[in-house]
């Protein structure tokens, strides 16, 4: 009987922990969405945050490399090949900082492409939370294959 009671207490604790995590995830996703507004790209604005031990250790949005003109599209309205994705910007920013992303969570407004998925895996990121699906799922599939915890939270509910 005592054992059962202890178990249910543990269950409730786990439930509370989950609920707290969901609230945090939604807040970080909303922040990533606001951060995307920094992007000067016209076709799509993507934002992301890298969080470790409840601290934001990096951030990114899609755009051209430092020192380049702040225009993402060419005269045909196609995205220039040297535009960096939000995730690539956030991860490479860490390379110039004292932080590292080992075990971190990445919050991204949009489903990552396969190139960014590779970077996320190699950066030691363990969890991804995103809020907009993309027609291609190869990035998400790769992350799942690498054992990364992938969480989708619909844009409308965050
Ligand atoms: Zn990408």
pLDDT in tens, 116-138: 999 999 999 999 999 999 999 99
- Separation of CA 113 and ligand 1 centre (Å): 4
DSSP line for 85-126 = PHHHHHHHHHHTSS---TT-EEEESSPPPHHHHHHHHHTT--
**Residues with pLDDT less than 50, the chain:** none
Helix then strand count (H, E) for the chain reads 4, 5
Distance 104 CA to ligand 1 centre (A): 18
pLDDT of residue 5: 65
SS3 category, 58: strand
pLDDT of residue 98: 95
- Residues carrying an active site annotation: 87
Cα(59) to ligand 1 centroid in Å equals 14
pLDDT of residue 4: 62
Given this model, what pLDDT does residue 2 score? 56
Instruction: State pTM to two decimals.
Output: 0.92
């Amino acid at each position: 009987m005592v054992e059962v009671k202890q178990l249910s207490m543990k269950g409730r604790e786990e439930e509370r922990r989950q609920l707290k995590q969901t609230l945090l995830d939604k807040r970080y996703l909303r922040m990533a969405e606001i951060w995307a507004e920094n992007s000067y790209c016209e076709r799509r604005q993507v934002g992301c945050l890298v969080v470790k031990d409840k601290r934001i250790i990096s951030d990114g949005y899609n755009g051209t490399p430092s020192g380049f003109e702040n225009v993402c599209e060419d005269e045909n309205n196609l995205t220039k090949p040297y535009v960096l994705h939000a995730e690539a910007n956030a991860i490479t920013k860490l390379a110039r900082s004292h932080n590292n992303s080992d075990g971190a969570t990445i919050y991204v407004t949009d489903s990552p492409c396969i190139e960014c998925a590779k970077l996320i895996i190699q950066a030691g990121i363990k969890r991804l939370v995103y809020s907009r699906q993309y027609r291609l799922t190869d990035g998400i599939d790769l992350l799942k294959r690498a054992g990364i915890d992938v969480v989708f939270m619909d844009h409308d509910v965050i």
